[in-house]
Amino acid sequence: MGGEAIREVYNGSYYYEEQTDFYEVLGISRDASATEIKKAYRKLALIHHPDKVPEAQREESEQKFKDISRAYEVLSDEVERAKYDSGAGLHGDHYDEDGFTAEDFFRFFTDTSARHGFSGYGYQTPGYGNGHDGYEEPQPPPKNGATTGGKTEDGHVEFQVNLEDFYKGKVVKFTSKRKKLCSTCKGSGGRPKTKARKCAKCEGHGSIRKQFNLTGISTWRYVECSSCKGRGELFRQKDKCKECSGCGLVDEVKILEAYVPRGASDGYKIVLDGEADEEYGKKTGAVVIEVQEKPHAVFERKKEDLYATIKISLAEAVCGLSRVVLMHLDGRGIRVTTRPGTVIRPDQVLKVSGEGMPFPRSDRCGDLYLSVDIEFPPNGWCVESSDLRKLRDMLPELPVGMRPGKSGSGVNGVSGGIGNGMGVNGGKKKAAATAETIIDDVDFVVISKDKLPEYREVPEESNGSDGGYTQFPGEGCKTQ
């Protein structure tokens, strides 16, 4: 209802309230400047002045002239205009249905229940229980930032760094843009040796009593005055600081530095006190930097340990290894040397103690775990039977006790080595039979582990002769 004046008009039976818009009276917009207001007033005053109209129109003209003069009187004064725009003093308390937050929702029910003697989920609302019927009107908070706890809001920045930076430590720099108190007026917003006037919108309290509505039921609370920003006072236009245009704040751009210590982890937070936006009458908040770790191409971090995968040849796995297998986060080469005759198997992991991430504020380090990926030679790498036989003779055979069939049999229960009837792709050549065991040469193809069939369990009520498992289409046995 802000922006309308109320005038009582008699219609012959009773008085009613007629609302007059001062901006409409002068024929100007609500954002009109002081010059536009003055120009519109002079033009209308000349038209509707009682001495400038005929006698028959004088009574109507007098009323219009009064409305024009009253509108100009209010809108030409900055403080009175602010009071008129907000509705303060014309309509009593300010009502607002917008901006009803979750906090307002909670306060609404605690306020309502307190009026009837309930505290609401064990929470006793301050200010209740001391007035009539156990209810006391909420009181306005103190001025100058008490509504926000006397501190400006903290700023939050996310900054990504490499794993190398977490390993060695790093000073990060970034550009900060914030609001800073004007050095000329010290944040007051007024020129030196000028005095502020009491805010008309909040009548000097710094806050306004506001009504919120929820499904037809209303509650009241105090919010910071949007006109004076909780100060309770304002400067006239001519008394405002020219440096900051009366707002008390100027823009500041500066470079901030923060140190990421060795061993810090993903999500590490650095707090720079006093670097957030400044505000008059409030303590300056902090800038909180949250450091995030970028994914690394070689290493995976798990707390203070590092994990990586190294590739070695089959010859290195069998005959021994002595070389740099990877470069560490600080640029050092990590050499791995095995004893002669030590065999590295595909499922083994090499643990290097003390080569992981450093512990924060300590000289200790975690461990480095190296998974081994053995590169086998491609098919057809050697076609000479004599060379293959020499290699076979050099390598140990499978112990007899680990072979299927009767002891004393050859590989797979058949005597003989290469040239035992198997082709390059394992094609069937012949079937051999002994008194004890029947041997059958089978066809096969080589596949990788990710090509193995998948199995899923089915509910018990669906269990049949398949033992509770089902195969995907296209899978199953073949009989020949």
The enclosing domain of 339 has a CATH number of: 2.60.260.20
- What pLDDT score was predicted for residue 405? 59
Q: Which of 372, 404, 421 is the last residue of a domain?
A: 372
- What pLDDT score was predicted for residue 6? 43
- Regarding whether 346 and 410 lie in a shared domain, the answer is no
- Regarding whether 114 and 257 lie in a shared domain, the answer is yes
- Regarding whether 72 and 131 lie in a shared domain, the answer is no
Flag whether 351 is in a domain.
yes
- Regarding whether 436 and 362 lie in a shared domain, the answer is no
The enclosing domain of 30 has a CATH number of: 1.10.287.110
- Regarding whether 344 and 467 lie in a shared domain, the answer is no
Q: Which of 372, 403, 427 is the last residue of a domain?
A: 372
Q: Which of 242, 263, 293 is the last residue of a domain?
A: 293
- Regarding whether 274 and 148 lie in a shared domain, the answer is yes
* Whole-number Å distance between alpha carbons of 325 and 373: 12
Flag whether 245 is in a domain.
yes
- Look up the domain containing 271 and give its range: 102-293
Going residue by residue through the chain, which has 480 residues, state the pLDDT in tens, using 9 for 90 and above.
444 444 443 333 323 334 468 888 899 988 888 889 988 988 888 888 877 778 888 888 888 888 888 888 888 888 788 877 776 444 334 444 444 454 554 554 444 444 443 333 333 334 444 444 444 455 555 555 444 457 889 999 998 999 999 999 999 998 999 999 999 988 888 888 888 888 887 888 888 877 666 555 667 778 888 777 778 888 888 888 989 988 889 999 999 999 999 999 999 999 999 999 998 888 999 999 999 999 999 999 999 999 999 999 998 988 888 899 999 999 999 999 988 888 888 888 999 999 999 999 888 999 999 999 999 888 888 878 888 888 888 877 777 766 665 544 444 444 444 444 444 444 444 445 445 667 777 676 766 677 777 888 776 665 555 555 555 555 455 444
- What pLDDT score was predicted for residue 428? 47
Contact call for residues 74 and 84 (beta carbons, < 8 A): yes
- What pLDDT score was predicted for residue 461? 60
- Regarding whether 450 and 336 lie in a shared domain, the answer is no
Flag whether 88 is in a domain.
no
- Regarding whether 246 and 114 lie in a shared domain, the answer is yes
- Regarding whether 115 and 48 lie in a shared domain, the answer is no
- What pLDDT score was predicted for residue 121? 36
The pTM for the full model equals 0.53
Flag whether 84 is in a domain.
no
Contact call for residues 246 and 255 (beta carbons, < 8 A): no
- What pLDDT score was predicted for residue 268? 93
Flag whether 85 is in a domain.
no
- What pLDDT score was predicted for residue 462? 53
- Regarding whether 256 and 216 lie in a shared domain, the answer is yes
- What pLDDT score was predicted for residue 459? 67
Flag whether 83 is in a domain.
no
- Regarding whether 250 and 354 lie in a shared domain, the answer is no
Split into its structural domains, the chain has a count of 4
Flag whether 87 is in a domain.
no
- Regarding whether 128 and 62 lie in a shared domain, the answer is no
Flag whether 14 is in a domain.
yes
